[in-house]
Structure 1
Amino acid sequence: MNIVITGSLGNIGKPLTQELVQKGHTVTVISRKEERKKEIEAIGAKAAIGAMQDADFLAATFKGADIVYLMESWEGMASIFDKDADFIGAFNSIGNNYKQAVEQSGGKTHCTSKQYWRPHQQRDRQSFSSQYRGKYPETITW
């Protein structure tokens, strides 16, 4: 299968990529950092360097994928110590970019990880998740 993974080579992305490549899948890993390219390729995956804030980049990268793993992450948005950072706004923006890219790319299955949401953000999480419910019956959320 042709699988695209967002979230680069973090705590989830790296072992997931390693396992998928080991099982014979073609994997593309999206990273915003050019310096990750060699590490991604060393695992046996293809690197796609770009930003989650760029819906056109995402759509082009998702095109032809059988599965797209979508992850929202704090990293790359702002420092967690920045009291003025609008993480909810950033998550919503990236979520909207994912939605647009998925629609444009015509991919088949979309997996979403929401592990970074905190209890005080539950209302926003439900609102965010409801954007996808019913529109993409093959969406997998855990």
Structure 2
Amino acid sequence: MKIIVTGSLGNISKPLTELLVTQGHSVTVISSNSKKQAAIKKLGATPAIGSISDVAFLTNTFRSADAVYAMIPLSFTEPELGDYLRRMAQNYADALIEAGTKRIVLMSGWAADLVRGENVEDVFEGLDASITIMRPASFYTNFYQSMDLIKGKGFIGKFLTLRHSGLWALLTGKTGLLMGNYGGDDRIVFVSPKDIASAVAEELLLRPEKTTIRYIGSEEMTCNEAAKVIGTAVGKPWLKWVLLSDKEMLQGLKMAKVPEKLAGTLVEMQAVMHSGKTLESFHRSQPKMGKVKLADFAKEFAEAYYKSN
């Protein structure tokens, strides 16, 4: 099969590309970074350098493809996150229609249907194609963004990293991290990007007659239980995951000069995690859990943790 993978060589797209190439598929990887070309070729894939904001580029890349994996990278520099997500989703939809692509696997989020403005799945309704919407839980790899906080303070907060100079107030005194309004004893499903990649690879080969939704998770536990697993791996078994109130979260975002509407969306996104609604949706779907457990990931995290000292 000829398969298009978006997301460059990110946490999901890289292992997905490796898996698809191993299976013998012809894989093209879309990246906005021309410096990624050599790494993409090394994986046995073909690089397509361009932006997902360019519908003509997407259309030309999608032509003759048997299937497309479509994801939208989050942008925290956009004042209207929902508008940005919808624009990028519409770009994909327009290109897929023009190219005549018949199989689409769309990356979404497990809280997408619960947060106003975040859900763009409806943009793809009506396409003459077989569509699967992937709703992964909370990524293990998010813990990397909290590494300096763990080192300096000995506790974890759910964090949002804004990779834009000057945007964040350095609330921890070390990096642009902010604790969030879920954590503590909230029960959460965590997921390995490797398990997501495996699930996406499975779906790309299928052709369901109607739009389907697939939730993806690797392990369920409380935030504090997760903190203990990570903490134990780095010699801090007492590690705790600190929970902020919605008000404290919103105040912190405002201090960081995050645009008001974006700040409200970010607070709402985490509030539904704290409410347990995302967990209810996940359980209703009864998904099969992935193979990679948090203890497995913690070994990788510990290696990176000690290397960064």
TM-score, normalised to structure 2, is: 0.41
1:53-108 CA-to-partner distances (Å, cap 9, x unmatched) read 0000000000010000000111xx4xx3x4x6322221111111001100110112
1:66 aligns with 2:73: no
Bigger CA radius of gyration: 2
Code of the residue aligned with 2:12 in structure 1: it is I
- Secondary structure, aligned partner of 1:123: coil
Alpha-carbon distance change, 108 to 135 in structure 1, aligned in 2, over 3 angstroms: closer
Determine if the alignment matches structure 1 residue 140 to structure 2 residue 132: yes
CA separation in 1, counterparts of 2:112 and 2:99? 32
Change (3 A) 1:28 1:120: closer
Structure 2 match to 1:123 = 116
Q: 1:90 aligns with which of 59, 84, 87?
A: 84
Who is 2:13 aligned against?
Answer: 13
Calculate percent identity across the aligned residue pairs.
34
Q: Which of 1 and 2 has higher RCO (CA within 8 Å, sep 6+)?
A: 1
- The answer for the alignment partner of 2:30 in structure 1 is 30
Structure 1: where are the runs of 5+ without partners?
none
- Which residue of the partner structure matches residue 108 of structure 2? 114
- The 1:85/1:124 distance shift into structure 2, 3 A limit, reads closer
Question: Within the alignment, does 1:104 sit opposite 2:98 as a pair?
Answer: yes
Runs of 4+ in 1 over 6 A off after TM superposition: none
What are the ranges of 5 or more consecutive residues in structure 2 without an aligned counterpart? 135-309
Counterpart code for 2:9: L
Q: How many residues align?
A: 134
- Post-superposition Cα deviations, 1:25-79, rounded to whole Å, max 9, x if no partner, equal 00000000000000000000000000010000000000010000000111xx4xx
Across the aligned residues of Structure 1 and Structure 2, the Cα RMSD in angstroms comes to 1.9
User: TM-score, normalising length from structure 1?
Assistant: 0.86
Name the structure 2 match of 1:50.
Answer: 50
Identify if the C-alpha distance between structure 1 residues 118 and 45 changes in structure 2 by more than 3 Å, giving closer, same or farther.
same
Q: Secondary structure at the match of 2:97?
A: helix
